[in-house]
């Protein structure tokens, strides 16, 4: 079907169906409830399972059951709901089950608000549930990219037999943009016959569990999972560099919706001959350490500005990657406020010493 | 002399493993009743069991069928996930009172209220066994446990949680019965109920829930025989046995 | 004549079968098993009726029962 104007949340629902999702377990929470409303209609049409659970916690555990039974399962939620899913995330990763989680982040902490935010970055990339596990985390910035990364998430979940998390924000969920599903199809079905609990006809029973009282056995599993994350670091880094190859003086690091505002600000600055470039990570775990180093350590780049809709979380990854070899500044908005281009133009000018502007 | 015919032996759906349960703990009886049911109804190869967190967390070492292990209290959610994607398989959760009646209350209530077509065997032994004998939602008034050392004070901790009776109030059709396994007669009756539960699931009829009063000699501080006696004299009067709800009978108006 | 077999090493000596048997066939052995329990053992096998109550009571499925010839089905199980 040709380009269609779709709301982000509904595009996510359709993308999951295109990706061959068989089961969706959900719970209403602003700003992503439209995914559930859309799939309540669509999943039955395609013979998929749709269950509105009693809580996000239960929804995420239903994913464990369905995924361990060999089904392609996923859920969507928003920040407070994702916190409730933390337990299941750890269990699903520990049991090496493929699953996709999508967090349409809202401002927090606590009940916070319902406006967009990027305040769950650390939860997504460093936190979530307990124990040694990681999520492969992707951060789209447009509705089209969200669709493509949703489909890609199912492929990656199968490839690594590990949960994959997409982090968007309220804007991406609520915004309508043209979307094209042309040429997008379901990743190949994962062969789960070696471990899925489908009934032990003609084979020894399968047991999907995460309790390993023998420390050596559990350590073996920890190491096996770490190897997966090392492989992700080698193979799944995704990023975009915008106007970075003409010796910019300042490098701005931003992802998701914020990156789109930064892009506008950079265009305006360049109209006045101020050369600024942008580094946009698409995978935030694995974080693109090497790419951001290459961009930031160009001789022309005097400093780096990290811009987030939070009080500074991806900032920590940029600082870690650059190891103090470039001054790093931060500009953040919270409470659901989305930075306006003018704010960023002013901030860039201030940092480059040819304009006013102060840290909000 | 004719060849001897065996009239009682280990069910095929039960693994040969020695169990880790304490001497006289009737978890082992309940395991056997389920395994016998799977054998007699020919379900072993179609069945997926879900183990809780608690003494029976190792249930998958004792049943000879596919199993998943749930986070504490989440078994009904896993079962929902499995049953929805594999509707023709037989799914059952095996849960203790800490798992089901405490942390997992929302999951069991809503699985029953949605009418999920799986079976739950709920083992009520009035205490947290695996962690060494703490008070459970089903601990009896004045029963001493490590977290109510002066006995359960109903003014502070409320009255024991009668799960079967609570579930029976839901309007969604279901089969809910409470049984016990502290005497041979009760064990025989418990098997009837468990088998009926799995039959309802085979028919895709309704959610089925069997609460089984069970002993915990170690944490009750009693011999196995004394524990059976205490169950009979203290638990049974409070947790009334019998059919609580049947899909054949319309809900009480 | 029915034959009761107790798996000595599987039995944990909980004595439930000993007390449940209507014929008092079973008793606790004086020899410990490999786990250190004093298991049950048929002390008066000749009195066994093959009613299966001991096996039904046993929490560890440690008892198997076989019969020669006809068998009395006291109850359905």
Q: What is the mean pLDDT of residues B12-17?
A: 97
User: Cβ–Cβ contacts within 10 Å for residue A319, how many?
Assistant: 16
- A8/A102 same-domain check: yes
Q: Among partner residues B7, B8, B224, which is closest to C16 by beta-carbon distance?
A: B224
At A299, which CATH number? Answer: 3.40.50.920
Contact C67 B4 (CB under 8 A): yes
Total structural domains within chain A: 2
Chain A interface disruption, residue of B50, B62, B81, most A CBs within 10 A: B81
Contact B81 A65 (CB under 8 A): yes
* Domain edge (last residue) among A186, A210, A235: A235
Does residue A359 fall inside a structural domain? no
Apex B26 CA angle, B184 and B23, nearest 5:
110
User: Cβ–Cβ contacts within 10 Å for residue B237, how many?
Assistant: 9
At the topology level, CATH places domain B27-245 in Rossmann fold (3.40.50)
Which subunits have 3 or more CB–CB pairs within 8 Å of chain C?
A: B
Average pLDDT over chain B reads 97
At B83-104, the pLDDT tens digits run 999 999 999 999 999 999 999 9
pTM score of the predicted model? 0.95
Output the six-digit token pair for B44.
């072993």
- A151/A207 same-domain check: yes
Apex B127 CA angle, B123 and B130, nearest 5:
85
Nearest residue in chain A measured CA to CA from B58: A211
C28 vs B: CB within 8 A? no
pLDDT of residue A359: 46
- A217/A328 same-domain check: no
- A125/A31 same-domain check: yes
Contact A68 B68 (CB under 8 A): yes
Q: Which positions in chain B touch C16 (Cβ < 8 Å)? A: 24, 224-225, 228
Contact C20 B183 (CB under 8 A): yes
At C1-18, the pLDDT tens digits run 899 999 999 999 999 999
- A125/A173 same-domain check: yes
Residues 6+ apart with CB under 8 A from B154: B141
Contact B65 A205 (CB under 8 A): yes
- A89/A166 same-domain check: yes
Closest to A72 (Cα-Cα) out of A161, A180, A178, A179: A161
Contact B68 A61 (CB under 8 A): no
Q: Which positions in chain C touch B223 (Cβ < 8 Å)? A: 15
At B126-155, the pLDDT tens digits run 999 999 999 999 999 999 999 999 999 999
pLDDT of residue B4: 86
pLDDT of residue C36: 97
Output the six-digit token pair for B170.
């839901």
Does residue A181 fall inside a structural domain? yes
Q: How many contiguous H segments (helices) and E segments (strands) does chain C have?
A: 2, 4
Q: Among partner residues C19, C37, C65, which is closest to B8 by beta-carbon distance?
A: C65
B51 vs A: CB within 8 A? yes
- Give the whole-angstrom CA distance, residue B126 versus residue B218: 12
- 3+ Cβ–Cβ pairs closer than 8 Å linking C and B: yes
| 3-class DSSP assignment, residue B141 | strand
pLDDT of residue B182: 98
Question: What percent of chain B has a predicted confidence (pLDDT) above 70?
Answer: 98
pLDDT of residue B140: 98
* Domain edge (last residue) among A235, A262, A284: A235
pLDDT at C72 over 80: no
For residues A178 and A113, the answer to whether their CB atoms sit within 8 Å is no
- A119/A149 same-domain check: yes
* Domain edge (last residue) among A205, A235, A265: A235
pLDDT at B251 over 70: no
Contact C13 B23 (CB under 8 A): yes
Does residue A59 fall inside a structural domain? yes
Q: What is the mean pLDDT of residues B67-90?
A: 98
pLDDT of residue A358: 42
Give the range of the structural domain holding residue A291, as residue numbers without chain letter: 240-354
pLDDT of residue C74: 84
A124 vs B: CB within 8 A? no
ipTM of model: 0.94
Q: Among partner residues A51, A64, A199, which is closest to B66 by beta-carbon distance?
A: A199
- A34/A151 same-domain check: yes
- A32/A155 same-domain check: yes
User: Cβ–Cβ contacts within 10 Å for residue C9, how many?
Assistant: 13
Element (H, E) at C57: helix C53-57
pLDDT of residue A141: 97
Does residue A41 fall inside a structural domain? yes
Residues of chain A below pLDDT 50: 356-360
Contact B225 C16 (CB under 8 A): yes
pLDDT of residue A138: 98
B176: closest CA of chain A, how far (Å): 21
Which subunits have 3 or more CB–CB pairs within 8 Å of chain A?
A: B
Chain B interface disruption, residue of A50, A52, A61, most B CBs within 10 A: A61
A84 vs B: CB within 8 A? no
Question: What count of CB pairs under 8 Å joins A to B?
Answer: 130
pLDDT of residue B253: 63
Q: Which positions in chain C touch B29 (Cβ < 8 Å)? A: 57-59
Q: Among partner residues C14, C50, C58, which is closest to B7 by beta-carbon distance?
A: C50
- A218/A263 same-domain check: no
pLDDT at B8 over 50: yes
Nearest residue in chain B measured CA to CA from A58: B77
pLDDT of residue C76: 87
């Amino acid at each position: 079907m040709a380009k269609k104007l779709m709301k982000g949340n509904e595009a996510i629902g359709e993308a999951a169906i295109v990706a061959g999702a068989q089961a969706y377990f959900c719970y209403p929470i602003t700003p992503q409830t439209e995914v559930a409303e859309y799939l309540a209609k669509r999943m039955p049409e395609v013979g998929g399972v749709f269950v509105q659970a009693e809580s996000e916690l239960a929804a995420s555990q239903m994913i464990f059951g369905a995924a361990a039974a060999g089904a392609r399962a996923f859920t969507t939620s928003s920040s407070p709901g994702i916190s409730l899913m933390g337990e299941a995330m750890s269990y699903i990763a520990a049991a090496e089950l493929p699953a996709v989680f999508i967090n349409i982040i809202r401002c927090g902490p606590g009940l916070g608000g319902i406006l967009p935010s990027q305040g769950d970055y650390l939860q997504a990339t460093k936190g979530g549930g307990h124990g040694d596990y990681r999520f492969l985390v992707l951060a789209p910035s447009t509705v089209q990219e969200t669709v493509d990364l949703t489909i890609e998430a199912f492929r990656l979940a199968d490839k690594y037999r590990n949960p994959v998390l997409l982090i968007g924000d309220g804007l991406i969920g609520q915004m309508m943009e043209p979307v094209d599903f042309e040429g997008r199809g379901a990743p190949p079905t994962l062969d789960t016959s070696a471990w899925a609990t489908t009934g032990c006809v003609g084979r020894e029973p399968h047991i999907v569990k995460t309790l390993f009282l023998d420390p050596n056995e559990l350590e073996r599993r920890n190491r096996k999972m770490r190897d997966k994350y090392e492989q992700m670091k080698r193979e799944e880094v995704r990023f975009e560099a915008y106007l970075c190859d003409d010796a910019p003086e300042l490098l701005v690091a931003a992802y998701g919706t914020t990156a789109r505002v930064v892009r506008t600000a950079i265009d305006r600055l360049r109209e006045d001959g101020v050369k600024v470039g942008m580094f946009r990570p698409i995978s935030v775990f694995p974080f693109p350490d090497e790419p951001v180093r290459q961009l930031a350590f160009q001789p022309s780049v005097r400093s780096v500005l990290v811009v987030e809709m939070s009080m500074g979380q991806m900032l920590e990854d940029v600082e870690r990657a650059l190891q103090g070899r470039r001054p790093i500044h931060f500009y953040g908005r919270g409470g659901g406020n989305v930075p306006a281009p003018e704010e960023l133009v002013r901030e860039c000018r201030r940092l480059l010493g040819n304009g006013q502007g102060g840290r909000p | 002399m004719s060849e001897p015919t065996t009239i009682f032996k280990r069910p095929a759906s039960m693994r040969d493993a020695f169990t880790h349960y304490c001497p006289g703990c009737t978890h082992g009886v309940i395991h056997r009743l389920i395994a016998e049911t799977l054998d007699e109804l020919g379900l072993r190869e179609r069945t997926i069991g879900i183990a809780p967190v608690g003494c029976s967390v190792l249930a998958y070492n004792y049943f000879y069928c596919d199993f998943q292990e749930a986070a504490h209290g989440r078994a009904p959610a896993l079962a929902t996930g499995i049953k929805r994607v594999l509707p023709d398989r037989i799914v059952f959760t095996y849960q203790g009172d800490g798992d089901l009646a405490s942390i997992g209350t929302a999951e069991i209530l809503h699985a029953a209220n949605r009418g999920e077509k799986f079976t739950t065997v709920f083992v009520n032994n009035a205490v947290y066994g695996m962690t060494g004998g703490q008070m459970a939602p089903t601990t009896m008034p004045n029963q001493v446990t490590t977290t109510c050392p002066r006995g359960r004070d109903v003014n502070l901790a409320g009255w024991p949680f009668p799960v079967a009776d609570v579930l029976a109030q839901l309007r969604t059709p279901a089969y809910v019965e409470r049984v016990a396994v502290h005497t041979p007669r009760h064990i025989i009756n418990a098997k009837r109920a468990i088998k009926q539960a799995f039959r309802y699931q085979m028919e895709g009829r309704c959610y089925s829930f069997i609460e089984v009063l069970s002993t915990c000699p170690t944490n009750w501080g009693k011999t196995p025989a004394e524990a059976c006696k205490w169950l009979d004299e203290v638990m049974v009067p409070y947790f009334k046995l019998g059919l609580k709800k049947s899909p054949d009978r319309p809900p009480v108006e | 004549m029915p034959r009761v077999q107790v798996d000595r090493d599987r039995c944990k000596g909980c004595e439930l079968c000993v007390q449940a048997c209507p014929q008092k066939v079973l008793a606790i052995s004086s020899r410990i098993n490999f786990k250190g329990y004093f298991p049950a053992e048929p002390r008066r096998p000749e009195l066994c009726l093959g009613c299966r109550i001991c096996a039904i009571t046993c929490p560890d499925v440690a008892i198997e029962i076989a019969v020669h010839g006809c068998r009395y089905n006291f109850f359905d199980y």
